[in-house]
Amino acid sequence: MTPAQIERYQRKARAVVEAWTALFGAPPSMRAVVRVMCVAEFETHLGDARGSWAGEHNWGAIHKRSLSAAERGALDARGISADGGEEALAAARALLPPTVKDEALHIDSAPSRGRYFVWFWAFPSDAAAARKFLQILVAQRPAVRAVLERADIAETARAMYETHYYEGLSTDPETNIRAYGARLAELEPAIAAAVAAQASPVVSASLPGSRPPAPPRRISPSGRGATVRYGDRTSSPALVLLLSGVLVLASSLLQGAHR
């Protein structure tokens, strides 16, 4: 992992912590930050997806709205189908430009309906994107929030599927859950290592419902932006072991990058 990659993840983590704190009134644990970042990285590269997504800052591939009857009729009248891929998307966008700044037309797919046009959220910044992403993934899905602290990230994938955050590519639910969970698990070590890099203890209020206050964590990447504060659940024995491991991993990767 290069220094630029570490800085990118730390910058995204600041956006998560600020948005989470604004939504819930207390900072998230480091594990919660990493978990939601895994989702957003898998879905849309934490808002940095290229191609037709460039500049839209959509975290998590979150929909805004379906097409109106008039919009669907306009596409049908010209024979523009989502099955046409990127060429069809370009044609649809030329015909149906967004009427507001916070939406963008894309093609999505699901086993239940195949490929289809849908309006996704678009944002001016990561800060705005993170707020909406956390509203949809965490605030509107208590079942997802309830499992973010658990050791197995597959439980996050299952809660997301059961609350209809994603559908997957298969008609078999368990296949979709396993595939999604496996991808999150692949991303977690690198994101955790980057978020934990150069972390140091600070005194901060504990999260509601947690144990008595213990030292949380913070990050001050490159001296830019506000200090990132995490809830005290990051200091649980299990997570200390996890972070120790990922810090070793980050160190070895950085050494390799400078050879």
Q: How far apart are CA 19 and CA 247, in angstroms?
A: 25
- Tens-of-pLDDT digits for all 259 residues of the chain? 899 999 999 999 999 999 999 999 999 999 999 999 999 999 999 999 999 999 999 999 999 999 999 999 999 999 999 999 999 999 999 999 998 999 999 999 888 889 999 999 999 999 999 999 999 999 999 999 999 999 999 999 999 999 999 998 888 999 999 999 999 999 999 999 999 985 533 223 323 333 333 333 333 333 333 345 555 443 333 333 334 443 333 333 333 333 3
Pairing of strands 114-121, 200-201: unpaired
Instruction: Give this prediction's pTM.
Output: 0.75
Contact call for residues 233 and 31 (beta carbons, < 8 A): yes
Taking only Cα atoms into account, the Rg of the chain, rounded to an integer number of angstroms, comes to 20
Q: How far apart are CA 71 and CA 190, in angstroms?
A: 42
Strand partners, 219: 228
Element holding 253 (H helix, E strand): helix 237-257
pLDDT tens, residue by residue, 201-255: 322 332 333 333 333 333 333 333 334 555 544 333 333 333 444 333 333 333 3
What angle, rounded to 10 degrees, do the helices at 154-162 and 30-44 form? 60
SS3 171: coil
